[in-house]
Structure 1
Amino acid sequence: MTDILRWGVVATGGIAGAVTSDLLLVPGIEVHAVSSRALAKAEQFAGRFGIPRAYGDYHELLADPDIDVVYVATPHSQHHEVASAALRAGKNVLCEKAFTLTVAQAEELVGLAESRGLFLMEAMWTRFIPLVRKLRALLADEAIGEIRLVRADFGVRAPYEPAHRLWNPALGGGALLDLGVYPVSFAHMVLGVPSELHVHGSRAATGVDAEAALLLGYPDGAQALLSTSLLAETRITAEVVGTTGRIEVASPFYAPTAMTLHRNGAEPETFRHELWGNGYTYQAREVVEQIAAGEVESPEMAWADSVNVMRTLCAALGRMGVAHPASQTSSGP
């Protein structure tokens, strides 16, 4: 491996384009190849971003000996299939969230990466946004005392199209895996793994979750109140409340540019930080730095975190009666 990490992008949808444009901004990264089930789409994507190689099958991309890192941007239903194949091919992996469809799949990916000494990370870019790192530093310094409550929401009004990935169970659709993963991961980041879970919501005609509210409980009585929806727009904000103050994270809390600290008896203090590119640059730089250091996981988005978030998501989906196919037989993106 050279000092430049050569990346291969699997899939050509909206998130793939947004992340690829940011990859091109990060020193130490060369976007070397892209794949799609339709070669014409891969070629169009490659032309758009100046990518040297385009493939009509992700297996061809994985067989490319010049690729060091694979970015998996497929629908959720194919994350495990593509990421596991990439790891078996000896590639480091950045995989979109939600990480997989099941806890077992998440654990299998971790086991593959560990056994092969390869870097693997869920693309929860929020963890690396500067103001979110600032939030963690403030909490570590007990700026608001003991944390008692986390509140976060992420809801949009999405047109109901049964075949669309958001509503299609075969593609891992539903509010929780697409949007709810953000508030759930945020709560895990702040409070850790919950000891209790209460869920309320509704399902769409296709069987996926259309909306959900989660109450996460912790042994000391702390709690997280989380909501997600494909039926209605929410504020998309987050708040952490402690015994001596609170921190409000402005919308969109998953990539904030403003955050306000309210200490009891003091004037509010607002922190601001504009994003570099679309904001995916920070997680890309994390991948570069961790691989350069010889690490196989990021301490800020550790393997255990991804597995535990999947455990909460899957438990919530199970209690709502939502079942996604655990695997797909398609040839991939």
Structure 2
Amino acid sequence: MSTTKTIKWGILGLGKIAHKFASDLKTVSGCELYAVASRNQEKADEFAQIYQAKIAYDSYEKLAKDPAIDAIYIATPHSLHKELSILCLQHKKAVFCEKAFAMNFDEVSEMIQTAKENDTLLMEALWTRFLPHYQFVIDVVKSEKYGKIKQLEADFGFYAPYDLQNRVFRKEVGGGSLLDIGIYPIFAALSTLGIPEKIEAKATFFENGVDSSCNMLFQYANAKAYLKSTLLENTPITAIFQFEKATLTINRPFHGPSNVTILQNNIEETIDFNYSTHGYSFEIEHFNNLLQSNKKESDLMTFEFSKSLMKTLDTVRNCIGLTY
């Protein structure tokens, strides 16, 4: 792909997150929102009008087949991620699929295999990895500026009234606290401490079998990570890293645009990152660069990491007896 070409994006699934993504896409140079798709034509038309997309489709397949499209962002419920990613990859469209990448490890493996067979770019859209404040934290961890991590506490919880019309409560689409928001505390542990030696987990459930909360303990040789997800209460949504020589806190919301507070020798410093978008612009820029460079895999959100993340989610699900 020529570096001068404008990347034409399509969006499959037009819910809340797609609106934020489309808004941030407009702030990124070298690309445009070309087409959107919903199973409801009226919804597609309305979305296209808001974000100046040229075409509004009433089916996902029509968008996947559009020869003008270079990249497709998949923002449907989790249960459709594998099917739609494979559909798009088979039509040689670069796929940027929202987290959780799929429902389980086998699905993720199939998606990656399809991407390789079609020699087409595929990446999990876990925006946190690309946010400047989180890249800062990764650099602090790697440099061991404050020594090694001894403990991590990370949580993500909000109160949501039980409503079976809301996808978050529907088991068949991967609803529940773990896959939807528990993925972020787990991501924080895997991206800084690696794969744990032992995992313990306990959960509570709604009457339909969807997990309402999950408490996890990841044990490492020289560290522990206490992780939590819940739909029953509002939690701090912070990530607190206890290093040997300092405490680093990613303030609320740790998974989105935020700031970082470092406490060392009783001196506290807060570092701001001056965000001006919803935060999706950073992952969009990264994906665009991969596409322009003809890369087939991200060096930041690698296939191996996405597989490890899903395998860890599967392990937690086995611990708490959750099946989809």
Aligned to 1:57: 59
Are the counterparts in 1 of residues 149 and 243 from structure 2 also a CA contact under 8 Å? yes
| Residue 61 (structure 1) shift | 0.3
Instruction: Measure, in 2, the Cα distance between the counterparts of 1:53 and 1:27.
Output: 20
Instruction: Measure, in 1, the Cα distance between the counterparts of 2:35 and 2:197.
Output: 43
Matched position secondary structure for 1:166: helix
| Residue 117 (structure 1) shift | 2.0
Instruction: Measure, in 2, the Cα distance between the counterparts of 1:202 and 1:266.
Output: 38
Match of 1:79, as an amino acid?
H
With a CA cutoff of 8 Å and minimum separation of 6, indicate the structure with the bigger relative contact order: 1
Q: Flag structure 1 segments of 5+ consecutive residues without an equivalent.
A: 325-333
Are the counterparts in 1 of residues 9 and 73 from structure 2 also a CA contact under 8 Å? yes
Alignment of 1:103-182 (within 5 A): 103-182=105-184
Are the counterparts in 1 of residues 101 and 124 from structure 2 also a CA contact under 8 Å? yes
Are the counterparts in 1 of residues 257 and 278 from structure 2 also a CA contact under 8 Å? no
| Residue 309 (structure 1) shift | 0.9
Aligned to 1:330: none
Instruction: Measure, in 2, the Cα distance between the counterparts of 1:293 and 1:223.
Output: 39
Aligned to 1:75: 77
Query: Across the two proteins, how many residue pairs are aligned to each other?
Result: 322
Matched position secondary structure for 2:128: helix
Match of 2:258, as an amino acid?
T
Aligned to 2:295: 295
Aligned to 1:208: 210
TM-score, normalised to structure 1, is 0.94
Are the counterparts in 1 of residues 257 and 279 from structure 2 also a CA contact under 8 Å? no
| Residue 266 (structure 1) shift | 5.8
**Further displaced range: 71-80 or 313-322:** 313-322
Aligned to 2:271: 271
| Residue 74 (structure 1) shift | 0.1
Q: Flag structure 2 segments of 5+ consecutive residues without an equivalent.
A: none
| Residue 162 (structure 1) shift | 2.1
| Residue 123 (structure 1) shift | 0.9
Match of 1:237, as an amino acid?
T
Instruction: Measure, in 1, the Cα distance between the counterparts of 2:172 and 2:266.
Output: 51
| Residue 274 (structure 1) shift | 2.0
Instruction: Measure, in 2, the Cα distance between the counterparts of 1:166 and 1:159.
Output: 10
Residues 112-140 of structure 1, C-alpha deviations (whole Å, 9 max, x = no match): 11222211111110111111111111122
Alignment pair present for 1:262 and 2:268: no
| Residue 60 (structure 1) shift | 0.3
Instruction: Measure, in 1, the Cα distance between the counterparts of 2:97 and 2:276.
Output: 21
| Residue 257 (structure 1) shift | 2.6
Are the counterparts in 1 of residues 99 and 126 from structure 2 also a CA contact under 8 Å? yes
Matched position secondary structure for 2:305: helix
Are the counterparts in 2 of residues 209 and 317 from structure 1 also a CA contact under 8 Å? no
Are the counterparts in 2 of residues 249 and 256 from structure 1 also a CA contact under 8 Å? no
| Residue 289 (structure 1) shift | 1.1
Alignment pair present for 1:322 and 2:322: yes
Are the counterparts in 2 of residues 195 and 217 from structure 1 also a CA contact under 8 Å? yes
Are the counterparts in 2 of residues 143 and 245 from structure 1 also a CA contact under 8 Å? no
Instruction: Measure, in 2, the Cα distance between the counterparts of 1:107 and 1:240.
Output: 31
Runs of 4+ residues deviating >6 angstroms: none
Instruction: Measure, in 2, the Cα distance between the counterparts of 1:84 and 1:50.
Output: 27
**Further displaced range: 266-275 or 4-13:** 266-275
Are the counterparts in 1 of residues 94 and 120 from structure 2 also a CA contact under 8 Å? yes
**Percent of aligned pairs sharing the same letter:** 34
Match of 2:253, as an amino acid?
P
Are the counterparts in 1 of residues 10 and 34 from structure 2 also a CA contact under 8 Å? yes
Residues 219-267 of structure 1, C-alpha deviations (whole Å, 9 max, x = no match): x23121100000111000001111111211100001243101223x362
Instruction: Measure, in 2, the Cα distance between the counterparts of 1:119 and 1:270.
Output: 37
Instruction: Measure, in 1, the Cα distance between the counterparts of 2:184 and 2:318.
Output: 19
Alignment pair present for 1:187 and 2:183: no
Alignment of 1:204-243 (within 5 A): 204-218=206-220, 220-243=221-244
Are the counterparts in 2 of residues 126 and 254 from structure 1 also a CA contact under 8 Å? yes
Aligned to 2:245: 244
Are the counterparts in 2 of residues 181 and 313 from structure 1 also a CA contact under 8 Å? yes
Query: 88, 91, 98: which one pairs with 1:89?
Result: 91
Instruction: Measure, in 1, the Cα distance between the counterparts of 2:240 and 2:257.
Output: 12
After superposition, the CA RMSD in angstroms is 1.2
Aligned to 1:308: 308
| Residue 171 (structure 1) shift | 1.3
Are the counterparts in 2 of residues 257 and 273 from structure 1 also a CA contact under 8 Å? yes
